[in-house]
Chains A and B, each alone.
Chain A
Amino acid sequence: DAKTTQPPSMDCAEGRAANLPCNHSTISGNEYVYWYRQIHSQGPQYIIHGLKNNETNEMASLIITEDRKSSTLILPHATLRDTAVYYCIVGKNSGGSNYKLTFGKGTLLTVNP
């Protein structure tokens, strides 16, 4: 599976948009980009995923560059409860390796009042 690079930490003001970058320059054509987050002392929580197109759900938006070598997770209006470690993961979504997701170090997002 391709590896990802994320900044170790970021800060964001409450109410503002949080833009979390991720580089995945070795991504292959059949690999998806997944985002999870982990709030302190809890299990990781799925946020969103995408292959080529930009995606949006009730939690966030995912912007994937045309060459698919990087992506950005956008939390449109960050709240204090969004303070967490955010993981960008690249992995396949089919076959025997279905859902074998490898978590890296992630980005610690701190939302400040």
Chain B
Amino acid sequence: DAGVIQSPRHEVTEMGQEVTLRCKPISGHDYLFWYRQTMMRGLELLIYFNNNVPIDDSGMPEDRFSAKMPNASFSTLKIQPSEPRDSAVYFCASSPQGADTGELFFGEGSRLTVL
């Protein structure tokens, strides 16, 4: 089975441009998470969804960031306008509802560089 699929794997853009990161969770998983990783701050939870509904977005840094999950098989994280401090690796993860393992399945990440 395919794991969590993220695209693009690498993105280089200029300050002020809109960036859209995409995630396809594992089929049947009801939870979806967006994390951001930087050297300074480590791995931070930005937002997570349950059954396509945002449950907790307290980690979203500011209004420039938005996330959507229009259906069970797709989610986007958008940054508009992007800034150099948004440069990071963005991870998407999914997890099945009701599982007692506490296991999150992470994608390979999208490395964003904002010049």
Q: Could you tell me how many residues of chain B have their Cβ less than 8 Å away from some Cβ of chain A?
A: 25
Q: Which residues of the partner chain B approach A93 to less than 8 Å between Cβ atoms?
A: 100, 102
Q: A32–B103 Cα gap in the complex (Å)? A: 12
B26 within 8 Å of A by Cβ? no
Q: How far is the CB of A112 from chain B (nearest CB, A)?
A: 24
Pair A103/B42 contact, Cβ less than 8 Å: yes
Chain A interface residue count: which class? 20 to 34
**Which B residues between 21 and 60 are near A, CB-CB below 8 angstroms?**
31, 33, 35, 42-45, 48, 50, 55-56
Chain A: interface secondary structure? Answer: loop
Contact with B along A79-93 (1 / 0, CB 8 A): 000000001000101
Also in contact, A45 and B101, with CB within 8 A (given A100-B48, A100-B56, A104-B42): no
User: With the chains together, A99 CA to B106 CA distance in Å?
Assistant: 13
Q: Given contacts A43-B91, A46-B104, A93-B100, are A99 and B33 in contact (CB under 8 A)?
A: yes
Contact A49 B102 (CB under 8 A): yes
Give Cα distance in the complex from A59 to B109, angstroms: 23
A residues less than 8 Å from B103 (CB atoms): 46, 49
With A100-B48, A100-B56, A103-B43 already in contact, the answer to whether A42 and B108 are too (CB < 8 A) is yes
CA–CA, A105 to B93, complex, Å?
A: 19
B residues 49-105 touching A (CB-CB < 8 Å): 50, 55-56, 91, 93, 95, 100-105
A-side residues, CB < 8 A to B, are 32, 34, 36, 38, 42-46, 49, 87, 91, 93, 96-106
